[in-house]
């Protein structure tokens, strides 16, 4: 028995690495991190970008509240500690997906500089691309797609970013999008241009 067992115990080091996946996919993998107020257009731009990337056979995935808050982070609330842990976990999942060869589009308000910094520091320089969806609160509140601002003003939601909790804008995001004034298409084109320039993708 032990001979057979020993024969089978050759330790199998991982032999498929991210670079192998990037080579197979024909593009690099990165984390594109959308930050901004609720209603600033993070998810909208992320999904519109994903459409174009997917048509060009680029592997993508959008992480947002819809697929994280009910699952991975369903044990977390909205206290400062819980919001920090929420972003930390999303950062770790983004990193794992990037290792798997995927261009990850993470769309979360992520209002605190320190939390975004934690995610940035999880990965190598150039792998974390911060996209600030910069729309003033009055524009976001006018949109109020999900009716959240109304609830926040009515006091039905506590610690709502921009109303009862601060939003700390990035000082030097890789990409700043004027999502109050420019079209979704223009925002997407800005990001595509950046990805091409950084040689992350090489599609037209």
Q: Which residues are catalytic?
A: 110
Is 158 or 202 the residue whose CB approaches its own copies more closely? 202
Beta-bridge mates of residue 32: 105, 129
Residues at the interface with its own copies (CB under 8 A): 1-2, 4-16, 20-21, 24, 39, 41, 43-45, 47-48, 50-51, 54, 57, 59-63, 66-68, 71-72, 75, 85, 89, 92-93, 95-97, 99-102, 122, 135, 138-139, 142-143, 145, 179-184
Is 1 or 171 the residue whose CB approaches its own copies more closely? 1
* Beta carbon of residue 84, minimum distance to its own copies (angstroms, whole number): 11
Is 15 or 171 the residue whose CB approaches its own copies more closely? 15
* Beta carbon of residue 105, minimum distance to its own copies (angstroms, whole number): 10
Q: Are 152 and 163 a contacting pair, CB within 8 Å?
A: yes
Number of continuous H segments (helices) and E segments (strands) in the chain:
9, 5
* Beta carbon of residue 190, minimum distance to its own copies (angstroms, whole number): 14
Nearest to 64 by CA among 106, 36, 32, 98: 106
* Beta carbon of residue 168, minimum distance to its own copies (angstroms, whole number): 23
- In the chain, the DSSP E strands lie at 31-35, 60-64, 103-107, 128-133, 175-177
**Torsion (CA) 96, 97, 103, 107 in degrees, nearest 10:** -90
- Residue 86 CB-half CA count within 13 A: 26
Nearest to 202 by CA among 26, 83, 13: 26
Is 11 or 172 the residue whose CB approaches its own copies more closely? 11
């Amino acid at each position: 028995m032990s001979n057979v067992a020993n024969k089978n115990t050759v330790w199998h080091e991982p032999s498929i690495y991210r670079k192998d996946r990037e080579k197979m996919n024909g593009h690099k993998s990165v984390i594109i991190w959308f930050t901004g107020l609720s209603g600033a257009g993070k998810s909208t731009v992320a999904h519109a970008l994903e459409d174009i990337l997917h048509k060009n056979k680029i592997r993508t995935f959008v992480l947002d509240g819809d697929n994280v808050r009910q699952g991975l982070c369903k044990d977390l609330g909205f206290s400062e500690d819980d919001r920090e842990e929420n972003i930390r976990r999303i950062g770790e999942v983004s990193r794992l997906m990037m290792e798997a060869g995927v261009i990850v589009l993470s769309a979360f308000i992520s209002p605190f500089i320190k939390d975004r910094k934690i995610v940035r520091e999880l990965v190598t320089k150039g792998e974390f691309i911060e996209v600030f969806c910069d729309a003033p609160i009055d524009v976001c509140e006018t949109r109020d797609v999900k009716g959240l601002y109304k609830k926040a003003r009515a006091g039905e939601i506590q610690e709502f970013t921009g109303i009862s909790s601060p939003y700390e804008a990035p000082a030097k995001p890789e990409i700043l999008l004027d999502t109050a004034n420019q079209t979704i298409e223009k925002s997407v084109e800005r990001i595509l241009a950046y990805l091409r320039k950084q040689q992350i993708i090489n599609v037209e």
